[in-house]
Amino acid sequence: LKELVAQLKADNERLHQEQALALPGSSTTASSVSDAEPVTPQPVGASASHSERFVFVPRDRKCPKFNGRSGIGINEWIEGAQACIRARYLSVSDQAFFLFDHLEGKAREEIRYRSEVERRDPDKIFLALREVFGCSQSHVALQEAFFSRRQLEGESLLEFSLALMGLMEKVKQRFSGAVPNAPVLLRDQFVEHVSDNALRRELKQLVRRQPTATLLE
């Protein structure tokens, strides 16, 4: 530290001397002064090669409450709750407690009166909530809504595609097993029911050339 302070003092005195010798209008002296490298004081105990490090610590993700009647939907709440659980690295028992702590109203009562095995299993809590507060429509009704969906007047292609994706997601959630050929059904429903005739022909030709193409592609 003493050597560092002495060096800083020496550099400081040198700069003062060069400034004192500088004359107005003298380009040579001015250039010598401008060429002098400024001395930046370093923190005590820091070496010249030391660089600062910034550590980003993310804030805890907040999980909303779910009551089963108003506000956030069950699927959106489950996605948010799962993200919070992953961020906190909770044990299975702590996960179940975390979920129950973020329930209120009818949803909380539903889990409260379930068996102890269900209350201690996060997956069983999610399943119970989906059964009670999920979509109330039958599988047949959801399928009918999907296959009858067409691009509406004034609706963009993006809005139409998102609407189809949402309907297909409801069908898959309601159906006990996997929906066979879901990507193909989604793509074909989009291709068949876009409102622009020229675009519909182009999309059909594209599907014939690329039979494995998906809606996203």
pTM: 0.45
pLDDT in tens, 72-128: 778 888 888 998 998 888 899 999 999 999 999 999 999 999 999 999 999 999 988
> 2 vs 208, which has greater pLDDT?
208
Distance CA 189, CA 147 (A): 7
pLDDT in tens, 14-70: 887 877 776 555 444 444 444 545 555 555 554 445 556 655 544 566 888 898 776
Q: What is the structure's pLDDT at 31? A: 46
Q: What is the mean pLDDT of residues 189-217?
A: 94
pLDDT in tens, 140-198: 777 888 899 999 999 999 999 999 998 888 888 766 556 778 899 999 999 999 999 99
Kindly state the tokens that stand for 24: 């107005």
Q: What is the structure's pLDDT at 177? A: 58
Distance CA 146, CA 125 (A): 29
Distance CA 155, CA 195 (A): 9
Q: What is the structure's pLDDT at 111? A: 93
Residue whose pair of structure tokens reads 């409102």 in the numeric block: 195
Beta-carbon count within 10 A of 105 CB: 13
Q: What is the structure's pLDDT at 33? A: 43
